[in-house]
Chains A and B, each alone.
Chain A
């Protein structure tokens, strides 16, 4: 099944506005975002007005109905600015939308999708102090109690937790570990549910303005209607469905940010003079610029190709992992070279290169580390060879 997405002319008109919005509104707000360690309210309101929270939601629920290619392109453009802005919308347009559209009940879709498209912020709570990718070890429990479920446990490193209006909580509905993680169910939990509390935001190396924190569930009681799809044991499957698109998305974010970093390096090299001429005239600087450009171009091609194939309904686990691994590593290399081009200045907080270098590091870690991507790629290669 091919995903056609929005009308091309409407999408192009949006791109024109978005590019301006990013350069005229988001980039100038970066310093304040970094200082406050949150996106300023006025900017958040503008992001909501722009419709950024509903990119992927179907039109009938107040969203824009973008296909993968379109929203990946949107993320690439948005990621010219600090990752803090993108992080706010990331769960809405990814995991939450996909889980609700593919697995939600009609009632859940009608209740949550218009709210999320309007800018209610979603968080996704899978990781725990003792479990991450190893979902079999997940401890948070959901106990059926009459017409309700009672949730207990703690979740760690949950992006957007301090700002969230709704948290998708993954919890065990079976004590024993079942095949395909069928012991795990997903719950749509309003953040103001009694028994839900949010820990202190973690202090991070970079991407300030985006916050992660623990989510603690102490006898948090939700109605059975909060169980995603109204069926126990489907939570893990629902979470995995948006994995490939999520990885292409992070690849796009790393690619968009790498373009910004390289632009900064290029401008500095053209302005900074040494031995009587701009350092951009020195061949060793040129080599760094050229390598960076070629790698950036390769990543751009990869994300577009992977997204296009996803829209054609093809299985893109391998391509998504290749793009995520390559783009995140590429962004790290470019950030490193741009610090190098800046020389001593690149190590100073006064220059953007320093922030870029810190911000870029996380791309190689979240949404599956480079090492996890390597496993996925190799596994898919072997599977394809076996036919």
Chain B
């Protein structure tokens, strides 16, 4: 079985995000970038399936700038066999990403696509679902456990107040939640080996997909600073404040 794992280069989760002064977006100059943590979980799950003998080949793919090769190399060091970078310096929205991934799926014919449920930069949580719709494949989103056997995959999903297990026919799309696994560190010997693994660099033009943005960002602002609370003397005062100051009653 071949597994395709899309990974995204995002701002590192430890970085305190700053908004550009013109409110056009967040400042990415000299900011540490990393693989989207949910995608790391996806790579780890694919590698575990390969180690268990269930999968034979793992292909990592990224759509992003030249430097996204760093994240693909990390995927290779974690255990992916080869990688594809579809190079673009532009922002690509989830639908365009899903369309590009559909083309890659058609070329590579994987039986399983595992990807993060969302990227921690725009938190869209759309790509996996859109890709499933475009391909007409089954989808198991927010996976906290997967079990692959007999041509189907059971995906345990985290839902409000509990767990739900769905059984999907292959080929299928799985999006990962935080508790699916704990990704490994790429070791020094494996980082060295990863350099020798194949990494194809493609252009968006190679796929004939319209990636023009459909959304317009009007402005990006910092969340409001949290202000200190106040103590009230009585219930009556609380109700009064909620009515007349907060305007929520």
Contact = CB atoms under 8 A, between A and B. Distances in A.
Partners in one complex: yes
A50 B74 contact: no
B185 A21 contact: yes
Interface in B186-209: 186-192, 194-195
B237 interface: no
A50 B77 contact: no
A57 to B, nearest CB: 11
Contacts of A6: 192
A55 B185 contact: no
Contact of B195 (A7, A49, A52): A7
A13 B185 contact: no
Interface residues of B, number: 15
Nearest to B184: A49
Contacts of B191: 10, 13-14, 17
**Interface SS majority for chain B:** helix
Interface string A14-49: 101100110001000000000000000000001001
A49 B70 contact: no
A64 B191 CA distance: 10
Contacts, number: 48
A46 B187 CA distance: 9
A214 B230 CA distance: 65
B73 interface: yes
Given A10-B195, A13-B70, A13-B73, A64 B185 contact: no
A51 interface: yes
Which one of A13, A21, A52 has the greatest number of beta carbons of chain B within 10 Å?
A13
A51 B188 contact: yes
B72 to A, nearest CB: 11
A85 to B, nearest CB: 14
Nearest to A51: B188
15 contacts: A6-B192, A10-B192, A10-B195, A13-B191, A14-B191, A16-B34, A17-B77, A17-B186, A17-B187, A17-B191, A21-B185, A51-B187, A51-B189, A62-B189, A64-B192
Interface of A: 6-7, 9-10, 13-14, 16-17, 20-21, 25, 46, 49-52, 54-55, 59, 62, 64
Going nearest first, the 7 A-B pairs with the smallest beta carbon separation are: A51-B188, A51-B189, A17-B185, A50-B187, A51-B187, A17-B186, A13-B191
Interface of B: 34, 70, 73-74, 77, 185-192, 194-195
